[in-house]
């Protein structure tokens, strides 16, 4: 009996590690092309905004997915969805490697993006079914950490590997890692995705009429708008500054994004200083707005330092808004799953627009015009958060 229990525990740990590896792969897959966008735009002769489609297609599916992924998992089962999606993304690497033109490359990336919302949801449901109570909290903390590790390693290693092996081998290699993860998670237990129903759209309108929610949703969307824009445009800005030839150096520019881990770790001490999350959001919005100003300076190292500040401000806002949004909505009697679905759609809408539109502005009017738009969005976001703080002083 003890031997059987020990064997079962080992199987659970192996599966959990496989799910964490898969999480790293998913977020690395999304962001790996960013340091290579300048190279890709030169090779295929496409504009800044069009090259960003390799990333923005993922944002598009993340925008529309919260309303339908749960229903899909109910129909086919979480385990089947997880294994099939992992396998299909894994073999899609062949399409990346042999892509003859940019249109085909975007098509393959769109195919991969189709499965990302399914993978993210299935991973979280599987972890929830494997762990309970405090074990679940620790297991989920591991998942959250791996989302940051994946997005950071995808950018940094994408730059280094892109310079050493070329973009085809690099992007294909990420896909191959999905097949390795598939071996580890093959025995993942099936889990219920929960009972999902199609909600009346009017209910979403009622949620948006809750005082404070539109302002917080705008702050989240505005933050990801600027963050996504910077992630895609850094390689082009570096080229303008005479440093765009090295994908490895471009990858290093994203090291500042690691400050997101710090922002999560110091949330407790910040709460003791600022007393409540809404004060942290106000501080984060102000910090984000001021840090963005450094991006106007035509200097590589100022740009490098500015990205640290931009990332810190974004993560401070993003780490604290969801809790307040959930509190306001649930207090108003709304279903938590609806609230979170609406939050994710609004959040990634900002990322979708930010990953494409600023590139158009940069192409047509130059960096300073693009910077002006990004800074303007952050100023507006700060003013909206400041007004909310003034109008609802007791907001939690």
Structure-derived torsion over alpha carbons of residues 358, 363, 367, 373, reported in degrees to the nearest 10: -30
State the sign of the Cα–Cα–Cα–Cα dihedral 321, 323, 326, 327: negative
Q: What are the tokens at 174?
A: 């990420």
Q: What are the tokens at 33?
A: 């092309």
Percent of the chain whose predicted confidence (pLDDT) is above 70:
90
- Give per-residue pLDDT as tens, 319-328: 788 778 877 8
- Give per-residue pLDDT as tens, 102-140: 999 999 999 999 999 999 888 888 887 787 655 666 777
pLDDT of residue 146: 86
Gap between the Cα atoms of 212 and 196, Å rounded: 27
Residue 145: band (very low, low, confident or very high) from pLDDT cuts 50, 70, 90: confident
In residues, how long is the chain?
396
Between 335 and 81, residue with greater pLDDT: 81
Q: 256: how many CB neighbours lie within 10 A of its CB? A: 19
Q: What are the tokens at 38?
A: 């300048």
Residue bearing tokens 């494409």 = 356
Gap between the Cα atoms of 78 and 194, Å rounded: 10
pLDDT of residue 392: 66
Q: Is the pLDDT of residue 396 over 70?
A: no
Q: What are the tokens at 178?
A: 């999905």
Q: Which of 7, 9, 22, 377 is nearest to 186 (CA)?
A: 22
CA angle 360, 227, 171 (to 5 degrees): 80
Gap between the Cα atoms of 113 and 73, Å rounded: 17
Q: Is the pLDDT of residue 306 over 70?
A: yes
Gap between the Cα atoms of 169 and 3, Å rounded: 43
Residue bearing tokens 């570096």 = 238
Gap between the Cα atoms of 380 and 200, Å rounded: 31
Q: Is the pLDDT of residue 291 over 80?
A: yes
Q: What are the tokens at 107?
A: 């098509």
Gap between the Cα atoms of 173 and 162, Å rounded: 11
pLDDT of residue 72: 79
- Give per-residue pLDDT as tens, 186-218: 988 877 655 555 566 777 788 888 888 889 999
Q: Which domains does the chain have, with CATH numbers?
A: 1-197 (1.20.1250.20), 199-396 (1.20.1250.20)
Q: Is the pLDDT of residue 55 over 70?
A: yes
DSSP 257: G
* Mean pLDDT, rounded, for 250-272: 79
pLDDT of residue 329: 77
pLDDT of residue 56: 92
Task: Name residues whose C-beta falls within 8 Å of residue 239's C-beta, 6 or more positions apart in sequence.
Answer: 38, 245
* Mean pLDDT, rounded, for 74-100: 93
pLDDT of residue 88: 97
- Give per-residue pLDDT as tens, 15-53: 889 999 999 999 999 999 999 999 999 999 999 889 999
Gap between the Cα atoms of 232 and 254, Å rounded: 11
**Do the beta carbons of residue 161 and residue 173 sit within 8 Å?**
yes
Across 67-81, 163-177, 237-251, 327-341, least confident range: 327-341
* Mean pLDDT, rounded, for 343-371: 92
pLDDT of residue 302: 93
Residue bearing tokens 């958060």 = 385
pLDDT of residue 192: 61
Mean pLDDT, the chain, integer: 86
């Amino acid at each position: 009996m003890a031997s059987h229990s020990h064997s079962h525990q080992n199987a659970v740990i192996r599966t959990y590690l496989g799910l964490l590896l898969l999480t790293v792969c998913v977020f690395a897959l999304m962001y790996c092309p960013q340091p290579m966008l300048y190279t890709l735009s030169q090779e295929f002769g496409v504009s800044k905004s069009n090259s960003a489609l390799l990333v923005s297609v993922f944002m598009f599916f993340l925008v529309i997915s919260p309303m339908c992924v749960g229903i899909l998992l109910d129909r086919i089962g979480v385990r089947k969805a997880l294994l099939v999606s992992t396998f299909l993304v894994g073999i899609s690497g062949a399409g990346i490697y042999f892509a003859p033109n940019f249109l085909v490359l975007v098509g393959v990336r769109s195919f991969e993006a189709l499965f990302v919302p399914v993978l993210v949801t299935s991973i979280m449901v599987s972890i929830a079914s494997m762990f309970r109570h405090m074990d679940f909290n620790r297991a989920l903390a591991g998942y959250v950490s791996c989302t940051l590790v994946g997005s950071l390693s995808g950018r940094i290693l994408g730059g280094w590997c892109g310079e050493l092996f070329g973009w085809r081998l690099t992007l294909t290699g990420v896909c191959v890692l999905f097949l390795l993860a598939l071996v580890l998670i093959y025995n993942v237990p099936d889990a219920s995705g929960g009972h999902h129903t199609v909600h009346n759209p009017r209910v979403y309108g009622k949620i948006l009429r809750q005082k404070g929610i539109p302002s917080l949703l705008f702050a989240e969307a505005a933050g990801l708008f600027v963050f996504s824009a910077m992630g895609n445009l850094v390689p082009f800005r570096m080229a303008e500054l005479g440093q765009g030839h090295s994908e490895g150096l471009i990858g290093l520019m994203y090291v500042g994004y690691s400050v997101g881990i710090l922002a999560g770790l110091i949330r407790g001490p910040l709460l003791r200083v600022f007393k409540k999350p809404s004060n942290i959001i106000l501080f984060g919005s102000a910090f984000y707005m001021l840090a963005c100003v450094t991006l106007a300076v035509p200097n590589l190292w100022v740009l490098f330092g500015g990205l640290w500040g931009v990332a810190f401000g974004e993560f401070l806002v993003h780490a604290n808004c969801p809790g307040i949004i959930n509190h306001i909505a649930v207090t108003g009697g709304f279903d938590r799953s609806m609230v979170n679905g609406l939050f994710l759609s609004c959040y990634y809408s900002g990322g979708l627009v930010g990953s494409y539109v600023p590139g158009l502005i940069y192409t047509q009017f130059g960096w300073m015009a693009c910077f002006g738009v990004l800074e303007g969005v952050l100023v507006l976001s700060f003013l909206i958060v400041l007004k909310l703080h003034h109008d609802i002083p007791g907001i939690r």
